[in-house]
Structure 1
Amino acid sequence: MSLIHYNPARTTTQGVNRFFDDIFGDNFFNTDAVQYKSFVPQVDISETDKAFELQFALPGFKKSDIKVDLNQGVLTVSGERKFEEKKDGKNYHAVETRYGSFKRAYQLPDSINDEQLDAKYEDGILNILVPKDVKKVQQKSIAVK
């Protein structure tokens, strides 16, 4: 079984329209990071015999800004990082750090142990361990009659 990435923004016309609006809209030459209200964090997904592991790159986030949910086999990771404009005398010429909200969802296979999911956030990386349930992994051949 493999993990299936679910991203509704890429499958709808809304995502296409947003893409073209970003390219040809009024904000084409505006590089102010505040204009972006959402972003997509980078994720590495790996699998072993015993578990799936997801690593989200979320630098600058606080643990309290991140939410991990499992509902009917869909693992959803969401969060928000707000831009805080500090009045410290600095004159920013570029801000490339990502701010705003994000939401990523993955359809998990039936062969997982949802009671033992583990999420840890350390050094800007969110690690989610999704253990497999060995009893559910067993495959069965069915004779055709």
Structure 2
Amino acid sequence: MALSRYNGMQENMPNTFSSMLDRFFNESVNAKNYSGFTPHVDACETEKSYEIEVALPGVKKEDISIDFQEGKLTITGERQLERKEEGRRYHMLETQYGSFSRTFYLPDKVSPDKITAQLEDGVLLVTVPKDEHKTMKRQINISSTNDSKKKVSEGKASDEKVAVNTDNGKAKKS
């Protein structure tokens, strides 16, 4: 009887190196979840607008939808895995596929009717212009209760000046 060391891995170990590679790649590829992904986004603010760049390589513009409602800009779409050949067996698949949705909350000082979107080289650029009337700088004058009392008393004094009657070139108050 020969003694052999037991470490609990013999049942799980493949017999050959080739079967080990097949098992590794098949399990890692099959374990991926293709239900969705989150595209990378760069968002910035300029003096006149907000700009959102979304990395969407391989996505057609027909597969993208952009909605703006109640201050929320939502970009949704889908990147589909296209099987080019039936006999292909992937050993590695790092690209994410599936549907996606990204929502951005914008301030109320934007012009929703002037939002533009452009898809070029797999990058979607959404430009949300700021509303010029809402972002215009205004100087507000501060008044106090004393100022309003002065205006009232000045108004009475000027009324008295207006109510001056003249008789024979002499001024007299009425």
What TM-score results when the alignment is normalised by the length of structure 2?
0.60
Instruction: Name the SS for the 1:31 alignment partner.
Output: helix
Partner of 2:68: 70
Q: Which structure's CA Rg is the greater one?
A: 2
Partner of 2:10: none
Instruction: Name the SS for the 1:127 alignment partner.
Output: strand
Cα distance in 2 for residues equivalent to 1:36 and 1:83:
9
Question: How far does residue 120 in structure 1 lie from its aligned partner after superposition?
Answer: 0.6
Partner of 1:96: 94
Instruction: Name the SS for the 1:92 alignment partner.
Output: coil
Query: Which residue of 108, 122, 126 maps to 1:124?
Result: 122
Question: How far does residue 81 in structure 1 lie from its aligned partner after superposition?
Answer: 1.2
Structure 2 alignment gaps of length 5 or more: 1-26, 145-174
Structure 1 alignment gaps of length 5 or more: 1-28
Partner of 2:107: 109
Q: How does 1:1-145 map to 2 (within 5 A)?
A: 30-32=28-30, 35-87=33-85, 89-138=87-136
Larger relative contact order (CA 8 Å, sep ≥ 6)? 1
Cα distance in 2 for residues equivalent to 1:33 and 1:134:
51
Cα distance in 2 for residues equivalent to 1:73 and 1:34:
35
Q: Deviations over 1:20-55 (max 9, x none)?
A: xxxxxxxxx533386320111100001110000000
Question: Sequence identity, in percent?
Answer: 43
The answer on whether the counterparts of 1:56 and 1:126 sit within 8 Å (CA) in structure 2 is yes
Question: How far does residue 66 in structure 1 lie from its aligned partner after superposition?
Answer: 0.5
Q: Deviations over 1:96-129 (max 9, x none)?
A: 1110011011111011011110001110000000
Partner of 1:3: none
Higher percent of residues as helix: 2
What TM-score results when the alignment is normalised by the length of structure 1?
0.71
Q: Deviations over 1:5-34 (max 9, x none)?
A: xxxxxxxxxxxxxxxxxxxxxxxx533386
Alignment root-mean-square deviation, CA:
2.2
